[in-house]
């Protein structure tokens, strides 16, 4: 069993214009085996097709530069590379993210590019599970959860690879407690 702990960043606007759809612009992920060993790291930018120019709000929030996006490949190529890296078609896996946004974005982008999205359904919402584990009334953000656990938050918040790394630390701390 592989646990693919991941985070996505997507196009965004301060006040999202009507009809604008978000697209994934970064995948950050760590592959962890059932022993809790990190078996790999994946980080790629993705060039959006519907709205290829990042808003100033998005650039400021994520720290992702337009130059990086312009050099990136499109979703179909990157998602195939991700699936190959994660061995989605060869090995048992569970996708793990903080909330449902990331799962929904993967499925949305697959549909947008006319790709199969069934593989995105093997998903664990760690935010909800953490809320239940800690008997909290409401869910909290990833950064707050990591800091609450005494784990130093590293990297830049709202960057896919940094958020995936911090989520991986939290995931490993409670490895035997998640419902996977």
The label of the residue with tokens 């035997």 reads 176
Whole-angstrom distance, CA of residue 67 vs CA of residue 111: 26
Whole-angstrom distance, CA of residue 13 vs CA of residue 143: 22
- Percentages (nearest 5) of helix, strand, coil residues in the chain: 40, 20, 40
Instruction: Give the dihedral sign, CA 51/107/37/140.
Output: positive
Fold exhibited by the domain 2-173: Nucleotidyltransferase; domain 5 (3.30.420)
Q: What is the pLDDT along the chain (180 residues), one digit of tens a residue?
A: 999 999 999 999 999 888 899 999 999 999 999 999 999 999 999 999 999 999 999 999 999 999 999 999 999 999 999 999 999 999 999 999 999 999 999 999 999 999 999 999 999 999 999 999 999 999 999 999 999 999 999 999 999 999 999 999 999 999 999 998
pTM over cut 0.75 = yes
């Amino acid at each position: 069993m592989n646990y693919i702990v991941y985070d996505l960043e997507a196009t965004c606007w301060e006040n999202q214009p009507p009809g604008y759809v978000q697209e994934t612009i970064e995948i950050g992920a760590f592959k962890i085996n059932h022993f809790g060993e990190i078996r790999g790291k994946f980080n790629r930018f993705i060039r959006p097709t519907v709205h290829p120019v990042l808003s100033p709000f998005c650039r400021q929030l994520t720290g992702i530069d337009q130059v990086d996006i312009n050099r990136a490949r499109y979703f179909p190529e990157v998602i195939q590379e991700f699936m190959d890296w994660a061995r989605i078609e060869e090995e048992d896996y569970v996708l793990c993210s903080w909330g449902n946004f990331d799962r929904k974005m993967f499925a949305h982008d697959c549909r947008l590019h006319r790709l199969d999205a069934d593989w995105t359904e093997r998903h664990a919402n760690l935010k909800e599970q953490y809320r239940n584990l800690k008997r909290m009334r409401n869910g909290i953000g990833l950064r707050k959860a990591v800091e609450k656990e005494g784990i130093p938050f590293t990297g830049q918040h709202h960057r896919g690879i940094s958020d995936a790394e911090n989520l991986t630390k939290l995931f490993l701390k409670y490895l035997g407690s998640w419902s996977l």
